[in-house]
Every structure is written in C-alpha cells, then in structure tokens.
Amino acid sequence: MNTYRATYLIGVCLLLIGMFTSCKHDEHEYHSITDKIKAESENYKGTTLSSEAHIGDLKTIEITEGDETFFIPERESHIKSFKCTECHTKPVSEMSSDDFKKAHWNIKLDHANSKTMNCVTCHNGNDMDHLKSLTGEQIRFNKSHQMCAQCHSRQFEDWKGGAHGKRIAGWAPPRVSNTCVNCHDPHAPHFESRWPARYNPIKEKQRE
C-alpha cells in the first residue's frame, strides 16, 4: 500500500513539473501580466512627445531635489523691487518701524501667528537680496521652495514627485513645474473659498 501511494505521488509530481516546464504558448500569449509587460517593453524606446513647444518664452532654471531633476520658473527677474538692496541700504536691526510702514504698507502677514513668524523668519535681515533658512543658511529667491519645505515637508515631497502643484505645458518631458510661490502668496498662502468658474446645468436641474 505504501509503495502504491509513493508511486502515485511521484507520478503526480512529474505531471505537475511537466505542466510548468514544458508549457507552450502561441505568439503574444503569456503566463502573467508581468511577463506580458516585460516582453512588450523590450523594444520600447521611450516617448517621442515633448512639451517644449508649449513652454514658450518662459525662463526656467534646472533644479535637483532628492532623486528628481526638473525645471521651475525663474523668479528673481520677475520680482518688481528686486534687488532689495537697491532700497535697503542698512540691515533690518537698524531700521525703525516707520520704515516698514512706508515701504511695505500693503503686505499683511497671514501665514502663522506672530509668536511663530515675522518678516525675518524668512527674509535675511542682514542680506535682503536673499532668504534664509531656520538655521541661517542663505536661500536664493529663485529657490524659495527650499524655505517652504522646512515646515511643509509633506507637501514638498508630493511636489517633488509631481503630485502637488501644477505642471506647466503638460506631462510630456521636459518637466516644468510651478513652485510654491507661483500658486500661493507667501505672506498669505491660504486659498479662500470661491464659486466654481463654470456653470453646472446638472446641479441646477437637481435644485428645481
């Protein structure tokens, strides 16, 4: 009886081995979706599409953040009062409160409470042509996203990967992405609630 069972089990094993080792397929038939993807992508040479024609005259700079390298809009040439040292001839510590009222009367800081943030949290009081990190490192206005990343690390990681923010021109390479300040006012970054830009006839009909 034991010999019979052993012979039976050996036979089943040989049958299974044969099924998996001598399996034949016609062309374009695969064991799994993984095998199909691997086979179909062997001769893939990449996309021939490009978003370059849609970027237009936008001036960009190339940045590398972590494993991601892409382009962002150049900013310093678009700041109306840059360079700051054209007006600021002395550091913030030597200025009076009246100086701020005269120069930046239209800026209201609504980013964090006054115990957490003021002007020199981000702006370099000793070198106003640059921003500064929380540890005092110099940050160019062109790379102000590095300033935002210190507190908004989750959004920054999403932005690096392309999940947060807006990509300019489309998803085809080269990648050009807006930075934080292209969408948010750094002094008051919160988006207010607003009505939809487009009329929705379906919703209107449901109200009737």
pLDDT, tens digit, 9 for 90 and up, residues 53-87: 888 889 999 999 999 999 999 999 988 888 888 88
- Residue 60 counted as domain residue: yes
Residue bearing tokens 């150049």: 74
Strand partners, 73: 60
Q: Which two tokens stand for residue 32?
A: 């799994």
- Residue 115 counted as domain residue: yes
- Residue 203 counted as domain residue: no
Residue 179 binned pLDDT confidence (cut-offs 50, 70, 90): very high
Alpha helices in the chain (DSSP H): 2-21, 33-40, 52-55, 97-103, 119-122, 145-148, 153-161, 180-183, 201-207
- Residue 4 counted as domain residue: no
- Residue 164 counted as domain residue: yes
Q: Is the dihedral of CA 154, 140, 189, 55 positive or negative?
A: negative
As a whole number of angstroms, the distance between CA 206 and CA 4 comes to 75
- Residue 32 counted as domain residue: no
| Domains identified in the chain, total number | 1
Specify the higher pLDDT residue, 57 or 96. 57
- Residue 120 counted as domain residue: yes
Please give the residue range of the domain that contains residue 87: 52-183
- Residue 193 counted as domain residue: no
pLDDT at residue 186, as a whole number: 93
